[in-house]
Structure formats: structure tokens, C-alpha cells
Amino acid sequence: MTALRRIGLFAPLLALSLAGCGLNSVPTAEEQVNAAWGNLQADYQRRADLVPNLVATVKGYAQQEKSVLTEVTNARANATRVQLNASDLSDPAKVQAFNEAQGRLTQAIIPLQRLQEAYPDLKSNQNFLALQDQLEGTENRINASRRDYNTAVQAYNTRIRTFPDAIGAKIFYGAKPKVPFEAAAAAQTAPTVNFGNAS
């Protein structure tokens, strides 16, 4: 049997074994993680864009609640300052810092949304109600996007750790597990809302 013929017999077997080692499935799974991350970033950006409009609307009604408005404005600034891109998704410290900054903004927004209870005029303001509705919808989108991202991360991490894809993931890609989002420590404590100074 000639060498060329031997190679011809083993080529399909070699191609099949390489295909089973994650050459295509690992990058596909990683791209799914990146796409889910992009969707989550878009939802965070939508929230960051809505917050200044909501703060501006509330300012006219809630002059004595400046501390709430200042806290929301600062939390938004800090949340947009902490950047995380797809190449950082394997770094637990960077993911945690990003998640904590977003969590602080979430916690700061809650008292802002509850200001309508203390200011009856604000409750009837259509701009405020529309912005609040959009913000609530955005928070729901963020939760759904986090779930989608975590599902994609779980699928990717499982793929790069199980046989036979683990072979290709390690040898060809040097794949590292991606970090899922977890609830920030601050999310475990409900925010305190006090309108004792409201007139």
C-alpha cells in the first residue's frame, strides 16, 4: 500500500477526530458568549441613557431630595466609567468590578423611582411616568440579558471542560472559562427609602 493511499484512508478519520475536538464548536460557543455580552452591554447603555432624563424630570419636583439625585448621578457616572469588554470576560476581578458598579446604580435608582409616592405632582407628570416605565422595562431587559449571558457562559464553560472538545479548546485555543454574572453583595440588602423631609 502506497503512502499516498494510506493517507487517503486515514484523512477522513483524522478530519472526523479533529472535528470532534472542538475546532468549530469552541469558537461558536465563544461567539455566543460575546453576542450575549453585547446584548447585555446594550441594555446597560440604555439604562445609563435614561437615568439623566429621569433625574432632570424629578429635579423640578423634589428639590429637598438632592441627596437621592446626587447619589443616582454619581452611581451612573461610576457605572459608565467601569468598562468591560469581551476579552475581559475570563477575568473574575474585572467582571466583579463591573457587576458591582452596575449593582450600585441599580440600588441608587430604587429610591428615585419611589419619589413619586412623596410628591403627588410628580406622580401625575407624564414625562416622569414614561421615563419610569422605560427604566422598569430596561431593568427587565437587563435581567433577561444577564440570564442569556449566563446560559451562554455555562454552555461555553461546559464545552471547554468536557471531552472531546476540551482537547481542542486547550491545545488550539488556550480557552479559559468565562465568568458568569452573580448578584452583587449590595443587592442582598434592600435600599432604605426615607421621605421624612417631603412636604
Q: What is the pLDDT of residue 5?
A: 64
Q: What is the pLDDT of residues 56-72, one digit of tens each?
A: 888 777 666 778 888 88
Q: What is the pLDDT of residues 99-113, one digit of tens each?
A: 999 999 988 888 877
Q: What is the pLDDT of residue 195?
A: 40
Q: What is the pLDDT of residues 156-177, one digit of tens each?
A: 999 999 988 888 888 888 899 9
Q: What is the pLDDT of residue 187?
A: 53
Question: How far apart are alpha carbons 109 and 134 in whole angstroms?
Answer: 13
Query: Which grid coordinates are listed for 150?
Result: 449566563
Distances (CA, A) of 104 to 92, 163, 175, 182, 191: 18, 40, 31, 14, 10
Question: How far apart are alpha carbons 97 and 196 in whole angstroms?
Answer: 33
Q: What is the pLDDT of residue 184?
A: 65
Q: Is the pLDDT of residue 47 over 60?
A: yes
Match 435581567 to its residue by C-alpha cell. Answer: 143
Q: What is the pLDDT of residues 115-136, one digit of tens each?
A: 777 777 776 678 788 888 888 8
Each domain of the chain, given as residue ranges in start order, spans 25-187
Question: How far apart are alpha carbons 76 and 125 in whole angstroms?
Answer: 23
Q: What is the pLDDT of residue 122?
A: 75
Q: Who wins on pLDDT, 189 or 121? A: 121
CATH number of 25-187: 1.20.1440.20
